[in-house]
Amino acid sequence: MTGKKLTRRRFLRDLTAACTCSSLYVNTLNPRHALGKPHKKYASKNKMEMEYRTLGRTGLKVSALSFGVMRLAEPAVLFEALDMGINYFDTAHSYQRGNNEKMLGDVLEQYGREKVFVATKIPPYHRRLGMKRLNDQKSLEAKMEKSLNRLQTDYVDVLFLHNIKDPDWPVQDEMLSFCQKMKKTGKARFVGISFHSGGKTYVDTVDQALKTDVYDVFLATLNYKSPKAHMDALKRARKKNVGIVAMKTQAGGYDQGVRESFNPYQAALRWVLDREFVDCAIPGMVNRQQLAENSGVIGMKMGWSHRKTLAVYYDGIKDRYCLKCGACSSSCKNTVDIHTIHRSLMYWEGYRDFELGRKTYRELSTAENALACIGCSTPACRCINGIKISERMRYAHTTFI
């Protein structure tokens, strides 16, 4: 690139000057906001000493608190995270229509690509033809080239097949040979899978992927309300020395007004980091306040009052927050994807990100979305945790369509 030494201040000045409304991160960059003060009350009181853990058989020494870049629009927050010792950054081919990879690539080009670990994700399915139509190897490779280009790098440290919704996907020949080729050519140092779907699909995805011995890392939904079967599956993976990266760690991040010395998001993150089978967590962070809050859990001990905080928090969201236990999976008389629709609502109601919720919903085919729920006069769907599924599905459809 320029070869010119770039300070953070100059970087922000240049980036702001270059703002042309063409991409989300440049478009929304506001240095004053980016450099605004973190929320003092919840920030770490002492200078934090980052904790590092070994990411399974990859041997990478990753920061326990790592960074889910997905919704971030302010590159200055990444510089601050780097200063704190965060060294693992997770993005994806599809986030912010590619601008998320570009933003991370720009920052790392200035900071030094070799000093950090980068993970990205390639979707194994073809979106326009529906979630279940798998990509062929050629198109997977084309997406990978595009991602490397945006990230301004020749390799990623971990390449994930993104959002596995069918346990048979990771064992398909085309997926396996794509992953092996990426490793062989050095474009990916390690490979893995990411998955959200709950219940049997979650467990079967883990067990099927383990059979191949190809995948080095699993990126999995995990939080203090995760079903035991999910955690047992991850423990089996960890026993085989597969690295475990936890996502969706804060059970939706709904603002319930619960404010204790250790707020519910901090307590939820600490709970995940206390699981011995977890190597790092990648909470999504969108500003300095969230970074400060999350870094505040490093070195903290979880006590009775924090568990109580979590219980109060869950009590306030239990009518909306789907635990992905899978108990309702076969209760729909049609083919509605209840899990993904709940996730799209969580993006809107919990993360306050309407666009992400709508995008997630609209990626579903007509057979999978909640269109069928609108005319369903005798709903068969049942939630063992008290969520009124049919109402929530109809609400999602009317909200996002």
- Provide the annotated active-site residues: 95
The least CB distance from residue 323 to ligand SF4, in Å, is 4
The least CB distance from residue 227 to ligand SF4, in Å, is 8
Q: How far is CA 265 from CA 191, 271, 285, 295, 392, in A?
A: 29, 10, 11, 11, 24
Neighbours of 28 (CB within 10 A): 14
User: Cα 116–118–122 angle (5° rounding)?
Assistant: 175
Nearer to ligand SF4, 180 or 335 (CB): 335
Q: Rounded CA gap, 15 and 279, in Å? A: 34
Q: Are 124 and 178 in contact (CB under 8 A)?
A: no
Nearer to ligand SF4, 3 or 386 (CB): 386
Both structure tokens of 235 = 């423990």
Q: How far is CA 238 from CA 206, 208, 279, 284, in A?
A: 11, 15, 9, 23
Interface ranges with ligand SF4 (CB under 6 A)? 198, 322-328, 332-334, 336, 338, 372-373, 376, 379-381, 383-385, 387, 389-390, 393
Q: Rounded CA gap, 379 and 331, in Å? A: 9
> Which burial class, exposed, middle or buried, applies to 55 when counting CB atoms under 10 A from its CB (0-12, 13-18, 19+)?
buried
The least CB distance from residue 100 to ligand SF4, in Å, is 28
The least CB distance from residue 378 to ligand SF4, in Å, is 8
The least CB distance from residue 329 to ligand SF4, in Å, is 7
Q: Rounded CA gap, 156 and 61, in Å? A: 15
Return contacts of 335-338, CB within 8 angstroms, 24+ apart: 335/367, 335/368, 335/372, 336/368, 336/369, 336/370, 336/372, 336/373, 336/381, 336/393, 337/364, 337/368, 337/369, 338/381, 338/389, 338/393
The least CB distance from residue 370 to ligand SF4, in Å, is 6
